[in-house]
Structure 1
Amino acid sequence: MNAASHSHAERVGPGAATGGVLRVDLGALARNYRRLVAQAAGAAVAGVVKADAYGLGMDAVAPALLDAGCRTFFVAHLGEALSLRTILPGDAEIFVLNGLVPGDERLCAEAAIRPVLNSLAQLDAWGALGRSLGRALPAAIQVDSGMSRLGLAPDDVAALADDPARLCGVETVLVMSHLACADEPDHPANAAQLSAFEALAARLPQARRSLANSAGLFLGERFRFDLARPGIALYGGAPTAGRPNPMEPVVGLDARVIQLREVPAGAGIGYGFTVVAERAMRLATLSVGYADGWLRSASNRGAAFLEGRRLPIVGRVSMDSVIVDAGDAPLRAGDLVELIGGDATLDSAAAAAGTIPYEILTALGSRYERRFVSTTNLGDRP
């Protein structure tokens, strides 16, 4: 739906109480999941729903993925996992990527949540709880294959392999690592990490293996292993830089016009007067700013759109508002213009702000009206 097609009744309806409307197409989300399942060619595909499903609403996104066939989910923190457990059925598998803070082991086990153990200390604490309960507790073990972020270092893996009794009380259900450069298919780090992962995983108990993120799924069969963990591709972001995006857009974002004004040549525009009008201009102020996740880095770079017409941002993005050059666009106060949608993809909006789609999505604040829809085909998007 183009912003200009919003009726006057819709302009003054419930959404008028907010600065913008965030539309989430759960049908497109489900189709993206099934597209990734096809790409996985036999490997299972999990859903990464950390950060409130990348800012879109875990309570709506997770059930939609479940309905599409997803049975394994990843979040970053135990608090996210506990919330997710109340949404999903008991047989859904939930992993906590960041592992556990000391003392949270029992809470995690009681909720049937599976930690990703990233250190020997985490593994020892989880095993100790399992032994005290008289049963092996399921968990993933992450190895650091070269990203230097999370996971057991090669020396830790060697120590564990030399002392397998240390795993008593732990049921290893997954061995995993994470790719640092998968969105650059020709980067030599991909092959190096694959080799490192295979060598490290071979020293750990037999279990499912997982290496591929969204981009990793497109690197070839050797990267897929048993389970892939896509995130951004589910939500419509391009999995591979510089290549056509095979995913459907899931997110649309419209901002509301709150004021229009004519300014003369020489008028300063926005904080710091980073723009001074070189001519008489017609400006529209939109009720979205960096408090809503429309990043300040989009100042003088990004744009809104109306029926394919680009309305460039002029001046700095403020906390609660942004100014665009309206030109002769047929706008009135209360109208909605498009920030993400048919004319501005998630990836192009991110590029205009000098960032990545992940940051755009996860920055979107709580002040938008959220509209969840479920389209049934590519021509039926909101």
Structure 2
Amino acid sequence: MIQKSNATVEVNLAKLKKNLQALRSYLDEDTRVMSVVKADAYGHGAVEVASTLEPMVEAFAVNDIHEGIELRKQDITKPILVFEVPQKTTASQYRVHNLTATVSAKEHFDWLPNGTSYHLNFDTGMGRLGFSPEESERVLSLMEENQNLFCTGLYSHFATADSPESDFVTEQHHLFTKIREQFPGKLSAHVANTGATAFYSSEQFDMVRLGIGLYGYAPGKTNIEGIKPILQWKSNLVQIKPIIEESPVSYGATWQAPSDGNLGVIPVGYDDGLKRSLSEELTVRIGGEKYPLVGNITMNYSMVFLGDDKYKPGTSVELLYAESDARDWASKIDTIPYEILTSINPKIPREYIL
């Protein structure tokens, strides 16, 4: 993959470790952690994140088999659970690369080659993938009929654990508990995500799946004490030009200069993950000072009004930083930090701070 040269993403691995430690404080001593590194670790770099966390966690989770294979090729040895529905064309790769499949429908037993390990996925209210609770006995029979495959766990997904005191979490937990009681005790069981880990102390079972919290964000509006964002996004000014009062900027001419001054051009646009819907909503930081992005964000560029201040081309620009992080961006366009983080173009180089 050819990397871009217009920006850099800095990922602080020391803060990553501290976030894990903070989240572990919510867990029972013997509760294991599965680190979720799908979508390139939410845009942070799956290989580097997994390599950093491997001595500190018991397992990893990815979305698709290709993500799992990438980790194996980079010498990640801990168990890796693949969330996606198994595909006939790639099913053989689970065993080749020692990956754990997810089985959520009867036909998946037929697609997986002998010797494959798997976890069962039950739908307790997420309304996405998984067997229904009413199918528990049937699933037990399928397990017995397919002893050439190795079931090592079962799991479900909470739908509302991002909100403390959700009655629906209690309902899902009750359902999953009843399902768990029907299966052999040797199987691992996990349903709690970051929100359930921090907000619901009784939902842990023997393993939790930590995702967004590792990267420094709570899954909803309620903060989680002790975690901090680990990613910063930086670019630079490529051109500075004078602008006169009432001069329009960018497509649509929706913004006009409030006074004479200087306009800075940043070589980052929506192709890089700086969403167009954030136009005229953000401030960036240059030389310790905050300045507004103005006009519509374009595919490859965005503009900043500098007022009377002047900077040289090449001056660093902070896009995502402590006072303007993914949660702040998300609140401006009614989305979630997950979307902001995973939208950052993977071609932008990631630099890692130990």
Q: CA deviation at 1:199?
A: 2.0
Indicate the residue corresponding to 1:171 in structure 2: 150
**8 Å contact from structure 1 (residues 94, 113) kept in 2:** yes
Residue type at the aligned position of 2:15:
A
Indicate the residue corresponding to 1:58 in structure 2: 46
Confirm whether residue 98 of structure 1 aligns to residue 84 of structure 2.
Answer: yes
Q: Indicate how the Cα distance of structure 1 residues 319 and 277 shifts in structure 2: closer, same or farther if over 3 A, else same.
A: same
Distance in 1, Cα, partners of 2:213 & 2:206: 19
Distance in 1, Cα, partners of 2:60 & 2:105: 21
**8 Å contact from structure 2 (residues 192, 208) kept in 1:** yes
- 1:42-61 Cα offsets, whole Å, 9 max, x none, are 21111111111111222211
Sequence identity (%): 26
Q: CA deviation at 1:286?
A: 0.9
Residue type at the aligned position of 2:329:
A
Indicate the residue corresponding to 1:378 in structure 2: none
**8 Å contact from structure 1 (residues 75, 96) kept in 2:** yes
Indicate the residue corresponding to 1:301 in structure 2: 281
For the residue of structure 2 that corresponds to 1:28, the secondary structure is helix
- 1:296-321 Cα offsets, whole Å, 9 max, x none, are 11111122123553312211111111
Confirm whether residue 150 of structure 1 aligns to residue 129 of structure 2.
Answer: yes
Q: Indicate how the Cα distance of structure 1 residues 186 and 104 shifts in structure 2: closer, same or farther if over 3 A, else same.
A: same
Indicate the residue corresponding to 2:28 in structure 1: 41
Indicate the residue corresponding to 2:61 in structure 1: 74
Distance in 2, Cα, partners of 1:239 & 1:89: 27
Structure 2 unmatched ranges of 5 or more: none
Indicate the residue corresponding to 1:197 in structure 2: 176
Indicate the residue corresponding to 1:113 in structure 2: 99
Residue type at the aligned position of 1:325:
F
Q: CA RMSD in A?
A: 2.1
**8 Å contact from structure 1 (residues 298, 354) kept in 2:** no
Distance in 1, Cα, partners of 2:160 & 2:131: 19
Q: CA deviation at 1:281?
A: 4.2
TM-score (norm 1): 0.85
Q: Indicate how the Cα distance of structure 1 residues 244 and 156 shifts in structure 2: closer, same or farther if over 3 A, else same.
A: closer
Q: Indicate how the Cα distance of structure 1 residues 328 and 350 shifts in structure 2: closer, same or farther if over 3 A, else same.
A: farther
Residue type at the aligned position of 1:102:
K
Q: CA deviation at 1:368?
A: 2.7
Indicate the residue corresponding to 1:125 in structure 2: 111
Residue type at the aligned position of 1:93:
P
Indicate the residue corresponding to 2:329 in structure 1: 349
Distance in 2, Cα, partners of 1:237 & 1:55: 13
- 1:247-289 Cα offsets, whole Å, 9 max, x none, are 1221111121112222223322111112233433432111111
**8 Å contact from structure 2 (residues 16, 214) kept in 1:** yes
TM-score (norm 2): 0.91
**8 Å contact from structure 1 (residues 347, 356) kept in 2:** yes
**8 Å contact from structure 1 (residues 238, 246) kept in 2:** no
For the residue of structure 2 that corresponds to 1:191, the secondary structure is helix
Distance in 1, Cα, partners of 2:139 & 2:284: 54
Distance in 2, Cα, partners of 1:41 & 1:287: 47
- 1:78-106 Cα offsets, whole Å, 9 max, x none, are 1111111112344x101101131024222
**8 Å contact from structure 1 (residues 237, 245) kept in 2:** no
For the residue of structure 1 that corresponds to 2:229, the secondary structure is coil
**8 Å contact from structure 1 (residues 305, 343) kept in 2:** no
For the residue of structure 1 that corresponds to 2:277, the secondary structure is helix
- 1:117-139 Cα offsets, whole Å, 9 max, x none, are 1212113433xx32xxxx5x321
Residue type at the aligned position of 1:242:
T
Structure 1 unmatched ranges of 5 or more: 1-16, 375-382
Distance in 1, Cα, partners of 2:33 & 2:87: 27
Alignment of 1:215-226 (within 5 A): 215-226=195-206
